[in-house]
Structure 1
Amino acid sequence: MENRPEDLVTTVVITRNGGAQLGRTIALHRGAVILLDNGSTDGCIDGITERFAQIRVVRLPANIGALARNVGVLLANTPYVAFADDDSWWAPDALARAASILQQHEAVAVVAGRILVGPENRPDPIGAEMLHSSLPAWPTVGGRSVVGFVACGAVLRKDAFLQVGGFDDVVFFGGEEERVALDLLASGWDLVYAPHVVAHHHPQPSRDRSERNRLIARNSILTALMRRPWPVTLARVAAALRTSHGRAGVATALPRAARGLLRRRPVPIEVERRLAALERSSR
């Protein structure tokens, strides 16, 4: 019997001290689910397998950040994977729609979905930016080409993700998607935004936003160091130095810079031109 599109997708969820929020969101996932626990200490995953037989729980001995998703992708037995965090989940028909796109378009590695935030279902502004960018439209999916994605709102082709090495330990966590997206583009893959593929995200207000901002600043610099021309890297450093969290990001980027340099492989000129044109148009 032929598989339904949604049967071709495994949802890879990562958590660290997800608390009661994880207990609520994990019940909303459908199909095959792999839950990676990044060394939680709050007991949030206790009893998950007893309550949800379809969920495979992997307890990692320590927090390995976004690399936990790599473990989940390797364990998945499906050609496509959907990412989720302990505060996010996919709309009922989203995975089937994303899988259909990936089946119909063999050059597409990532389907970036529309993310609705909070109980009010506020559209994440990044969706509007993707939909109205200067990149080519994809009428067949009702969206357009993109050069990046948000992990909790993305469904990926497993082989493409593994081809570019998945997430890395230089960035570790926070903005970790950028380097993967750049490597996919450099390898000739397409990334598309599909607004009818919907993910829900209910971020916990208790989580430290200043720490998140510092990580984003740090990792933006490190990613540029690994994949972008030197003027772009220096421009990101200069921009970061204008804010307190950015300055903290620069300081914490320095100890990781040597490892980043060892992995420096600037994207091909045609990809860089596309990135530069998009960045100019969005200013």
Structure 2
Amino acid sequence: MIATRDRRDQLLRTLPRHDAPTIVVDNASQDGTAATVEAAFPHVRVVRADTNLGAAARNLGAQLADTPFVAFADDDSYWVPGALDRAAQLLSDHPRAGLLVAQVLVGEDGRPDPMTAELDGSPLGWADDLPGPTVLGFLSCAAVVRRDAFLSVGGFDPRLGIYGEEALLAMDLATAGWGLSYVPSLRVAHLPSPAGRDPRARERRQARNHLLTTWLRRPLPTVMATSARAMTSTAGRAGLRDALAELPWVLRDRRVVPDWLGADLRRLEHASAR
């Protein structure tokens, strides 16, 4: 399924490349996305959201799906032929796997996304009952989920919007006992627009969501250290101001991850720092 907002041209570029039943959730676009897709691709199910749901539009798409597995794509990405059949087989063969992460190939030349190196070098090992190395991070456009597992933990938190929304979902899936694995033989093509989006707004939003996720799930020493680091950059300070405005619901919904998961997160953070 694809969540989109005001990116009709990008979506029209990638939709013909999808070879599986597709649901498009239009996040209240103002550029005629929904009507254009309905006219050009009558086989695609289009859902019009009344408001911009952000990443939570994927929750709506998953709820409407009638398949046991759901693959996410952005309006500027698509799964390469054969990848989804392979992912479905792996999920069927590994019942503890709740989410599989694919390799992302960027641009027409298909260069690996920088995150690939971190996923390849995951220090968390490879469990016998999973189809690849254990990870706790992913890009949404490169994830296939077990629908029941995804919905059982609430999917993407609507209060985070977009940018960095994956970390909270990864923690909640792992806490619930589901495995997350990187499978590089699964591949996604990502064709980002040269214009892109406002980088400063994105950095501010990422800083906000990183803080909110930390405050929601990590122990107090990590909360304090992360909050202090946010003060060292312009985007971090802006994100901290935004996050503080959300503090009432954060305190209400705070649930610290179990110790074993906290240890895994620290191992990943130390590896990333190195």
Which TM-score applies when normalising by structure 2?
A: 0.95
Say how many residue pairs are matched: 272
**1:25-75 deviations in Å (ceiling 9; x for gaps):** 111111211000001001123231232232100011111111111100000
Letter of the 1:79 partner, please give it.
P
Q: Is the 8 A contact 1:143 1:192 kept in 2?
A: yes
CA RMSD of aligned residues (A): 1.6
In structure 2, what is the equivalent of residue 9 of structure 1?
A: none
Quote the Cα distance in structure 2 between the aligned partners of 1:231 and 1:118.
40
Letter of the 2:216 partner, please give it.
M
User: SS at the partner of 2:33?
Assistant: coil
In structure 1, what is the equivalent of residue 189 of structure 2?
A: 200
Distance 1:110 1:171, change over 3 A: same
Mapping for residues 37-116 of structure 1, pairs under 5 Å: 37-116=26-105
Quote the Cα distance in structure 2 between the aligned partners of 1:172 and 1:259.
15
Q: Is the 8 A contact 1:141 1:194 kept in 2?
A: no
Which one of the candidate residues 13, 16, 35 is aligned to 2:2?
A: 13
In structure 2, what is the equivalent of residue 241 of structure 1?
A: 231
Quote the Cα distance in structure 1 between the aligned partners of 2:130 and 2:106.
22
Gaps of 5+ in 1: 1-11
Deviation at 1:256? 1.2
Deviation at 1:141? 7.6
Quote the Cα distance in structure 2 between the aligned partners of 1:128 and 1:141.
20
Q: Is the 8 A contact 2:3 2:57 kept in 1?
A: yes
Q: Is the 8 A contact 1:138 1:192 kept in 2?
A: no
Which TM-score applies when normalising by structure 1?
A: 0.92
Q: Is the 8 A contact 1:167 1:180 kept in 2?
A: yes
Which one of the candidate residues 251, 267, 272 is aligned to 2:257?
A: 267
Q: Is the 8 A contact 1:73 1:81 kept in 2?
A: yes
Does 2:220 correspond to 1:230?
yes
User: SS at the partner of 2:78?
Assistant: strand
Quote the Cα distance in structure 2 between the aligned partners of 1:139 and 1:198.
22
Does 2:156 correspond to 1:167?
yes
Quote the Cα distance in structure 2 between the aligned partners of 1:282 and 1:168.
25
Q: Is 138-147 or 213-222 further displaced after alignment? A: 138-147
Q: Which has the higher strand share?
A: 1
